Amino acid sequence: MTDGLRIHDLHTGYRKKKIMSGLTTPLLPRGQITALLGPNGSGKSTLLRALADLNPAQGELLLNGEDLMTLPSATRAQKVVYLPQSLPQGVHLHALESVIVARRASGSLHSHNVEQEAYAILDKLGVAHLAMSFLDQLSGGQKQLIGLAQSLIREPDLLLLDEPLSALDLNYQFHVMDIVARETRLRNIVTVVVIHDINIALRHARYALMLKGGELIASGLPGEVVSPASLATVYGVDGRVEYCSRGLPHVVVDGVIP
């Protein structure tokens, strides 16, 4: 089976600090959200940046059987879209215009209805009313939603989202995760999302990787990856997974392990 993303013997980090040495993962499936879990400093953002060709890296990154490491940067950028934790500051474009620019920069065939496509994406995300607002006048959460629209309209094969919920309120957190899950399924793409809220990962992701210190601690179904043992090992907390009246799992933390 080659459909999906397989990371093999990945070495990456920064100029003076190696973060990952020989990271290998099972196949990350298409059509499903993979949650990237772990404490601060575990290498989650570093991994996303390596996948996006933003950090120096060595190893194999096999996307649907094709090694991303061997592709020209422009070709790789057409297949992989990365949304950082925050958009660049000082961009004085209308939200709609920024999404149109992202569509035209994607290298895909241009539709005659680019503006209509852009507006439709904004509408899906519930921010069509911001279409004519300038990016540098929006709140952090609003900018994050526009950034997600820019990412989706580029039609990637691999979508990388670094803490896309960090600036969103509770309503939008669930709204955005539902949309990302639906678009991932409809487009049959690989989506990897850094998520700090483990309960959101348990509810919305269908696969999970848990990192600590740049190493893979656990992988598989979120309900199997998140356990009392992994919560203790990775997060240093005494926790358990309980199920609500609707049968949905959630983590309860009883205390910090000294």
pLDDT digits (tens, 9 = 90+) for 48-87: 999 999 999 999 999 999 999 999 999 999 999 999 987 7
pLDDT (0 to 100) of residue 111: 57
174-233 pLDDT per residue, tens: 888 999 999 999 999 999 999 999 999 999 999 999 999 999 999 999 999 999 999 999
Identify any residues that bridge with 164 across adjacent strands, giving them in sequence order.
none
Phi-psi region of 107 (alpha: psi -120 to 50; beta: other; left: phi over 0): left
d(CA 121, CA 187): 14
What does DSSP say about strands 215-220 and 237-243: parallel, antiparallel, or unpaired? Answer: unpaired
239 half-sphere exposure, CB direction, 13 A CA radius = 20
> Which sign does the torsion angle of CA 236, 55, 95, 33 carry?
negative
CATH 1.10.3260.10 fits 5-88+156-226, yes or no: no
Cβ neighbourhood burial of 60 (10 Å; 0-12, 13-18, 19+):
middle
Domains in the chain: boundaries = 5-88+156-226, 227-258
What does DSSP say about strands 249-256 and 158-162: parallel, antiparallel, or unpaired? Answer: unpaired
